[in-house]
Structures are given as structure tokens and as C-alpha cells.
Amino acid sequence: MAVKQTAGRDALGQFAPKFAQLNDDVLFGEVWSREEALSLRDRSLVTVVSLMAQGLVDSSFQYHLTTAKQNGITRQEIAEILTHAAFYAGWPKAWAAFRMATAVWTEDGESDEKARHQQSMVFPIGAPNDGFAQYFVGQSYLQPLAAGPVGVYNVTFEPGCRNNWHIHQAQQGGGQMLLCVAGRGYYQEWGQPARELHPGDVVNIPTGVKHWHGAAPDSWFSHLALEVPGVNCSNEWLEPVSDEEYGKLK
């Protein structure tokens, strides 16, 4: 996938159209876009170290630090990268780089694990799932993906988070389908062993079946939830999955 860049044309399209074209179309459009040769994350790592080694702490460095974060480099990793590079590029340059890196990696307070989970899937994590929080143990997030005849939501569970036992009720039709998109989780029907879930797994939950779904104890987990159309559909929320029962899972 080609990286879209317009910074060259935005800043210098009139003054230096050739430079702008080389910047946007060649450097970003071709070199940065060769993901089959080197991932965006790796290219960010090389770029950040190169700029830091020159002592650059201008807006381009700020841009590349932000891009590095978006490309999946975590707070721990950038700290390690700059510490390592300090021995080769120079101690004061690392100090200058850290001043900007701390701002980029802390400004939204988002955890590295959450960022890494987001990096592993194409659907947005979305907002804290406050509307249903009373039916969940732990923190979950919800992103509606489609309105219309079939409701589709991306539901994300932090490690250890799961929803209560519940039943999808309907007079006719109804039920729910889960399409697992990232991380590792579980689905369990009442009286049955829990089924471990991975990206690509599909769960068909018939109307009237008591069940729960959620993350593994040590992993983030996201699934798309599809509301199967039916007559007078409703959710019947029941008791939480006990720590004792959930604690049996790995």
C-alpha cells in the first residue's frame, strides 16, 4: 500500500515543485511504500535514528516520532532505541531526542499494549463501552461499524475482561455471530467447556443459548459482533462469570 504524503506539495509545491514531487512521490510514495521489503515500523526506526544522529529536533523529527508511534513503536521501544543510539550518535543528541519523545509518547496517556493491539487489527478500538459497562467485568471498548439491517460492532476486551452470562432472545430469527479479528479470547456456552478464540474464528450463537465471550486473562481481544435480524430481539443479561470459573482459563 502506498504511503500518501502531501507535505512536500503543501510546503514547497509552488517554490520547488520538483523537490515537492520527489518528497511526496518518490521518498514517501515509493521508498516508504516498499512494505514488502521493510515494514513501516522498521522504516520509522531507521528514520528516527538517522534524524537523531544528525541532532535534528525540528518539526520533521516531531513528525517522524509521531509516525513511529503510529507505526507501532512503543514507549519502551523508543526509550531503548534512543538509549542504544546515544552511544553511537552522541549523548546530548539523545537528551534532545528524549525531550520530544516523552511528549509524543505520553500526550494521550494511552497504554502501549492498547496501541499494540490497535496496530494488530484494521478496525478501530473505539470508545470505552460505558453503555454496557454494567454487564461486563473489566474494561471493554465499542466501535459501531455499520448501521442498517445488520448491526455490526467491533468489541474490544482488555486482558481479563469478559461480559456477563447472557442470552440473545428473539421471537423469531435473531442470535449473534462473532468474527474474531485480533488477540486471544474465549466463548463459552452454559454447561460446555470454553472455546479458545483466535483471529479468523467465527462463532454462531443461536437465539436462546446462555453464553459469555471475552478476552483471555493475559491478552487483549477483539471480535466483530453481528446482530442477526429477528423479531422482537433483546438481550437478557444474567450473572457475571465468576472469578473461579474464569480463573480456570489460561
- 176 is a site residue for Mn ion (CB under 5 A): yes
Report CA-CA distances (Å) from 184 to 34, 70, 145, 180, 203. 30, 22, 21, 9, 14
Nearest distance in Å: CB 229, Mn ion? 15
For residues 105 and 186, which CB has a smaller minimum distance to Mn ion in the complex? 186
List the beta bridge partners of residue 222: 156, 182
Nearest distance in Å: CB 198, Mn ion? 18
> Considering only 22-30, 36-44, 168-176, 238-246, which stretch makes contact with Mn ion by CB under 5 A?
168-176
Q: Which residue is nearest to Mn ion (CB)?
A: 176
Q: How far apart (Å, rounded) are the C-alpha atoms in residues 8 and 2?
A: 16
Nearest distance in Å: CB 195, Mn ion? 13
For residues 76 and 204, which CB has a smaller minimum distance to Mn ion in the complex? 204
Nearest distance in Å: CB 213, Mn ion? 6
For residues 96 and 177, which CB has a smaller minimum distance to Mn ion in the complex? 177
Q: How far apart (Å, rounded) are the C-alpha atoms in residues 155 and 113?
A: 16
Query: In 3D, which of 76, 222, 238 has the Cα closest to residue 169?
Result: 238
**Type of residue found at 78:** I
> Considering only 86-94, 107-115, 138-146, 171-179, which stretch makes contact with Mn ion by CB under 5 A?
171-179
Nearest distance in Å: CB 167, Mn ion? 8
- 154 is a site residue for Mn ion (CB under 5 A): no
Q: In the chain, count of helices (H) and strands (E)?
A: 8, 15
> Considering only 40-48, 75-83, 140-148, 170-178, which stretch makes contact with Mn ion by CB under 5 A?
170-178
3-state secondary structure 70-112: HCCCCHHHHHHHHHHHHHHHCHHHHHHHHHHHHHHHHCCCCCH
The count of other CB atoms within 10 Å of the CB of residue 103 is 12
> Considering only 16-24, 77-85, 125-133, 174-182, which stretch makes contact with Mn ion by CB under 5 A?
174-182
> Considering only 29-37, 153-161, 169-177, 239-247, which stretch makes contact with Mn ion by CB under 5 A?
169-177
In sequence order, which residues have a C-beta less than 8 Å from that of residue 80 and are 6 or more positions away?
A: none
Nearest distance in Å: CB 205, Mn ion? 5
Q: How far apart (Å, rounded) are the C-alpha atoms in residues 156 and 55?
A: 40
- 129 is a site residue for Mn ion (CB under 5 A): no
For residues 114 and 210, which CB has a smaller minimum distance to Mn ion in the complex? 210
Largest CA distance in the chain: 71
Residues within the interface to Mn ion (CB under 5 A): 176
